[in-house]
Structures are given as C-alpha cells and as structure tokens.
Amino acid sequence: MKFPLELETTKPKPVLLLKEDEVRRGVSKPIEEASRALDSARRENNTFNDYITINDAAVEDATALERELKSGAAPPLAGLPISVKDMILTRGLRTTMGSSLFKDFVPSYDAEVVSRLREAGALIVGKTNLHEFASGVTNLSSVVGPARNPRDPARITGGSSGGSAASVALGSAIASLGTDTSGSVRIPAALCGVVGYKPTYDLLSRDGVFPLAWSLDHVGLLAKTVPDVAYVANVLEGRTGRIDVEWAVRGIEPEDLNLAYLDVDIGFYQNVVTQLGSRGVRITKVALDLEKWNSLQRVVRLVEAASVHRGWFSSNPEAYSPDVAALLKEGLSFRAVDYVDSLRARREVMDEFLRETRGFHALLTPTISVVAPSVNEVEGRELQFRTVATKYVSFANYLGVPAISVPAGSLDGLPVAVQLVGRPYEDSVVLAAARTLETLLS
C-alpha cells in the first residue's frame, strides 16, 4: 500500500488507513492512540461490556514503539489500536474463551496472528467478549455476562465475536481479530453495523487459536470499511500476496461488476438488489440448496466441537452454559458415519457452488434476515435464534470460501447488511466487489 494515500472523495473513507497515514507522518503518536483507546475501552465497557480484559500494557508498548519510530521506518500497523477476541491466545494477557473454566488462564505465548500484529506495530487494546467457547450467535452466554449492541444496549450484538464488533463500532478499536465457524464474524458485524470479513480457509493462521470445530474455524477481521479489513488481512497473511489492498480501495466499477444473487423475500435485501441493478451492476438470480449445505455443516460443527470438549464436559458439565451444553450433547450423539458422510459431501457441494458461481465476481445474499433482537427476545431461546442467524452464512465455512458482510443501511434505526461470497482464494475479488457495494450502499 502506497502512502500518502490518494483517495476518491466519493467513497467511504478507510478509517484505519487514514490513521496509519497520520502515524507515518507524525501527526498522530502511538502513546496518544493507546491512551485514547484505553480510555474509550474503559468508558464503553461500563455500558456495553465489549471487553473481558483491557490491556493496560498497551501504553508501555506504545512508548517502546515511539522509540523505535525515531530510528527507523514505521511498520505497517504502527500505533493502531486493535482488539482481539478472547478465543485467540495472547502472551501474558488473560484469555478466557468466555468460560469460567479458563477465567484465570494466562497464555505463555501468542497466537501466530497476534505475533504478526505485534511485529507490525499494532497496539492490543484488550480481549473482547464472546459467546462461551465461541459456541453461539447471541453473545449472551459469557463468563462476564452479555455484550451489548452499540446502537441499543437492550439488544444483542450477535456472536460469537460480539465484543469485537462492538469495540469497532464504538471506536475503542480501529479493527478487531475475530473467529468465524458458522458466521461468528459476519453475524455480529451485520447486527452492529460494521464490516466483517472471513477469508478463505487457513489464509490467516489458526495456530494458537482455541478450536471450536477445526475444519470450519477461520480467523476473521472486523473494521469500519472494506479497505481496512483488506489492509490488516494483507499484513497478517503476509506470505502469498493474495490480498490486493489497492484493488480493495478502488473497488470495481459498477457497470463492470457481475453478481449472482439468491432471490429471497426480505424487504431490505430486495431493495439492495433493486438499487444495485439501477446503478449498473449486472445481477443474476441463482438457486442454491442452502438448507442441505447448512445441515451438512451443522453435523461437522457439532461433532468436532464435541471432540474438542468431551473431556472437560464429561468431568465438569455444570461449567457450561445450557445452550452450549445442549449443542455438545447433540454432537456426542452423532455416529462416526454421519460425520464422515458430511465430510465426503464437501467435494460435491463445492462442485455445485463453483458451477453456479462461474463467471461472476461473487454471490450476493443477506447476511442475516433480521435486525438485532432484544436480549429479552432471545434469552432462553438461543438455539432457535441460531437457525435464523446462520441461515445465509454457515455454508461458507463448510466450503472454506471467502465471505464478507457489508452494511446496507438501517431498518428502524438498526443496522442491516448483505454478504458477498466468493470462490476459493479469490479474496481480492470479493473485497473489491465489497468495496463497490460499500460505496453504492453508503
């Protein structure tokens, strides 16, 4: 990415990239950024409960970074406050997985993505709230209580990366690392009004990330704009150059954008489809059997999670929240042949997905069909809401393909969002297409 930035005034401004430009030019100082972020985190946490642990050491890290900047060039994320989901290990900083079982666990090493953040000069603001063991979509079940929606604290953030989405929306973090197994980055991003990006499977390392379901788990990113998630992903990926940040800043000209879309009867979504067509985007209806694909994903997710937790759950079942325990019990009830059949079906489903999306930049769907419900609406009914929340997102985890949630306005003052899903390793295409949607829908 070339600095200083030259940006088109008609596109939403990439907040993170502009802040990084300020740090490079000395307009903004890392110590100032750390102090501001920590003050904001403490203040917002009183109402929204988006952090489990706030990292006071960020000021010390910023002080050391300022000394380094005096003698050398700025690393790519210098002085940027970034939050980390409390499912991702952080050396010397408590990592709870949102569970009482790990409420005092302090890792002795960083996850690889956290190591890359530190090497790039990022400042870790803190560890964000999550649904217990990342095993839910409401963020109501957590060792520190529920995270609250930035638009209305009586409503849920969605999950499981709810604290990550809230920390970005509220401003203490300029970006956040999350995890996504059945939509856990994209669902809260949609309900909190930010961008949520799940890369192609294993594009970002899972080393040092506590597993939920290993063949479905993805490390993802949340930020205010598409170029911002692209920039951080490029830094963290760092090996193959599969993330074209400059393309994610430019986007694709609307008349050159070619999207497949699911035709579903959701008012705000149909308005988006109409709006895109009126702006010159080519948009073609396709039919996909998401119900079948999601049922296959569900078997894999439940069985793999049961395998991860079997020992802890058998010896200490009361430590698990009721909704998480119910999913583990269901996972333990499956036969080996059910799991193997669901894995074997992946190739067939991938072939169908590739066939239906051939010739398109991406597939357009809703991210979630509803706005954030109130805590009272879903409390005790988390598993029923799960079906609604994951309907359009979990198949992308089953296939391991890139997907991104982009804000699409609001309904009664609450955020709504649409999703773009791409073909394997076509992350740059998906990000560029998402930038176009971000511009047209802003």
Q: Has 184 been annotated as catalytic?
A: yes
Task: Indicate the burial class of 418 (C-beta count within 10 angstroms; 0-12, 13-18, 19 or more).
Answer: buried
Whether 76 contacts 20, CB under 8 Å: yes
User: How many CB atoms sit inside 10 A of residue 369's CB?
Assistant: 17
- Please give the backbone phi and psi of residue 415, each rounded to the nearest 5 degrees, phi first: -65, 145
Q: Has 161 been annotated as catalytic?
A: no
89-126 burial, b at 16+ Cβ within 10 Å, e below that, comes to: bbbebbbbbbbbbbeeeebeebbbbbbbbbebbbbbbb
Whether 431 contacts 197, CB under 8 Å: yes
The closest of 198, 182, 189, 205 to 133, measured between CA atoms, is 182
CA distances from 382 to 83, 375, 428 (A): 26, 10, 34
Q: Is the N-terminal amide bond of 135 cis, ω within 30° of 0?
A: no
Set 11, 85, 127, 224: catalytic member: 85
Q: Has 85 been annotated as catalytic?
A: yes
Set 83, 135, 167, 184: catalytic member: 184
Token pair 């490079």 is at which residue? 24
User: How many CB atoms sit inside 10 A of residue 333's CB?
Assistant: 11
Specify the 3-state DSSP secondary structure of 174.
coil
Give the torsion through C-alpha atoms of 271, 274, 280, 285, to 10 deg: 120
Set 142, 160, 164, 342: catalytic member: 160
Token pair 């049922």 is at which residue? 295
200, HSE (Cβ side, Cα atoms, 13 Å): 16
The full DSSP string for 380-437 is T-HHHHHHHHHTTTHHHHHHT--EEEEEEEEETTEEEEEEEE--TT-HHHHHHHHHHH
Contacts of 316 (CB under 8 A, 6+ apart): 101
Q: Are strands 362-366 and 282-286 parallel, antiparallel or unpaired?
A: unpaired
Whether 178 contacts 161, CB under 8 Å: yes
State the catalytic residues: 85, 160, 184
